[in-house]
Amino acid sequence: MTSTDCGRQAVRQLKPNPAMPRESSITDIRATVAASRRISRDVTLITLDCPQISLTAEPGNFVNVRVNDTTQPLLRRPFSIHDAGDGQVKLMVKEIGKGTEIFCRCAAGTELSVLGPLGNSFSTGAEGYDTAVLVSGGIGTAPMRFLEKRLAAMGKKVVNLIGGRTKDDLLPEGLTGCRFATDDGSEGFHGTVLALLESLVPSLTAEGTPRIFACGPTPMLRAVARFSREAGIASEVSLESVMGCGFGICYGCSVEVSAPDGGTKTILLCREGPVIDGGRMV
Ligand SMILES: Cc1cc2nc3c(=O)[nH]c(=O)nc-3n(C[C@H](O)[C@H](O)[C@H](O)COP(=O)(O)OP(=O)(O)OC[C@H]3O[C@@H](n4cnc5c(N)ncnc54)[C@H](O)[C@@H]3O)c2cc1C
Ligand code: FES
């Protein structure tokens, strides 16, 4: 099947997602696995032929994948868009359970239902910054390739700070200007990616105004958001939660964020996220 054939198989058009910062065109596609390549011990880079999603995706969006045509697992699984273009979408998938195991074992030619692009996107067009500091941990590095590509096309300087427990957890696939931090010191800076960020902020701010874009485990994001607030640096973080539908119907993805009145409020991460302003992180 060619990618054009695949594109004709959009099976339905869902109602627009009002949280998305552009005209939404979420589609449920029969996508074909074009390639699947293991890039680390437990992470596979999966390329899907799906022209509609590739055409409308924005950095930070995710897709919700039915990993097979049975009811086991019942729910789709959400994955950040690692890269998009030329009629294809790439996903970086870490095996942690049954769904990701099945997905990572899909051979080229396998057809799957893929819903997307979903969620909001990183604010690459925000004003007042010169350097984009992309801070990621573990599989949180997945959306950074697409983000870096967009930022580079806009003429922004991009710095990638990538953290992991050991060097085997670092996933710099397709990224440039990388600085690494490992908990055990097996690669780059010996310590957390937050400590690496803290050490680099004086030189980053001396060169211009930075803006932080972060994705990774929630405790890491909380710490990065708190540090950014205290340092007076604008930040946005891409969160994860358990998800069901992916477009605001099942209420399975509620997370607490700070409210303007100083309290907290609940949002549906699939609609108002996954990217939120670092200042809203609780
Ligand atoms: C917006 C969004 C973007 C994501 N992007 C990516 C991505 O680019 N690459 C990627 O590999 N994964 C990503 N994830 C996480 C991915 O969706 C889950 O790892 C996947 O759904 C797990 O499915 P499973 O059937 O393999 O595991 P399950 O059998 O469902 O779960 C196995 C174990 O992992 C735990 N678990 C399940 N989901 C998560 C989670 N989100 N975080 C932490 N623990 C979890 C479960 O509680 C359970 O203990 C993303 C999640 C969200 C919400
Ligand atoms: S995943 Fe269903 S409402 Fe968000």
- For residue 9, what pLDDT is reported? 31
Give all strands (DSSP E) within 128-280, no chain letters: 131-137, 157-164, 178-182, 189-190, 210-215, 234-238, 254-258, 264-268, 275-277
Nearest ligand 2 atom to the CA of 271 is: 4
Amino acid 75 reads L
Amino acid 11 reads V
Ligand 1 centre to CA of 113 (Å) is 18
- For residue 153, what pLDDT is reported? 96
- For residue 24, what pLDDT is reported? 57
178 is in an annotated binding site: no
For the Cβ of 19 lying below 6 angstroms from any atom of ligand 2, the answer is no
50 is in an annotated binding site: no
Give the Cα separation of 221 and 183 in Å (integer): 16
Nearest ligand 1 atom to the CA of 95 is: 26
For the Cβ of 237 lying below 6 angstroms from any atom of ligand 2, the answer is no
Rg (CA), the chain: 18
Measuring CA to CA, which residue among 157, 101, 142, 146 is closest to residue 122? 146
Tokens of 14: 């869902």
Domain 122-237: which CATH class?
alpha beta
Give the Cα separation of 163 and 138 in Å (integer): 6
Mutate to test the pocket of ligand 1, among 40, 121, 240 (most ligand atoms within 8 A of CB): 240
Question: Considering Cα of 82, then 127, then 235, then 261, what sign does the dihedral take?
Answer: negative
DSSP state of 70: S
What burial class does residue 229 get, using C-beta atoms within 10 Å of its C-beta: 0-12 exposed, 13-18 middle, 19+ buried?
middle
What burial class does residue 125 get, using C-beta atoms within 10 Å of its C-beta: 0-12 exposed, 13-18 middle, 19+ buried?
exposed
Relative orientation angle of helices 193-207 and 218-231, to the nearest 10 degrees? 30
What burial class does residue 201 get, using C-beta atoms within 10 Å of its C-beta: 0-12 exposed, 13-18 middle, 19+ buried?
middle
What CATH architecture does domain 3-118 belong to? Beta Barrel (2.40)
Choose between 7 and 130: higher pLDDT: 130
- Residues of the chain within CATH 2.40.30.10 domain(s) are 3-118
Could you report the per-residue pLDDT of 195-206, keeping only the tens digit for each? 999 999 999 999
Q: What are phi and psi of 101, to 5 degrees?
A: -65, -45
Could you report the per-residue pLDDT of 46-102, keeping only the tens digit for each? 999 999 999 999 999 999 999 998 989 999 999 999 999 999 999 999 999 999 999
Could you report the per-residue pLDDT of 121-178, keeping only the tens digit for each? 999 999 999 999 999 999 999 999 999 999 999 999 999 999 999 999 999 999 999 9
Kindly report the protein residue whose alpha carbon is nearest to atom 6 of ligand 1. 79
40 is in an annotated binding site: no
3-state secondary structure of 83: strand
Tokens of 124: 């690459």
Please say whether the beta carbons of 101 and 73 come within 8 A: no
Give the Cα separation of 221 and 236 in Å (integer): 9
- Residues of the chain within CATH 3.40.50.80 domain(s) are 122-237
Ligand nearest to the CA of 215: 1
CB-defined site of ligand 1, < 6 Å: 62, 73, 77-80, 92-94, 96-100, 139, 142, 240-243, 274
Give the Cα separation of 121 and 183 in Å (integer): 29
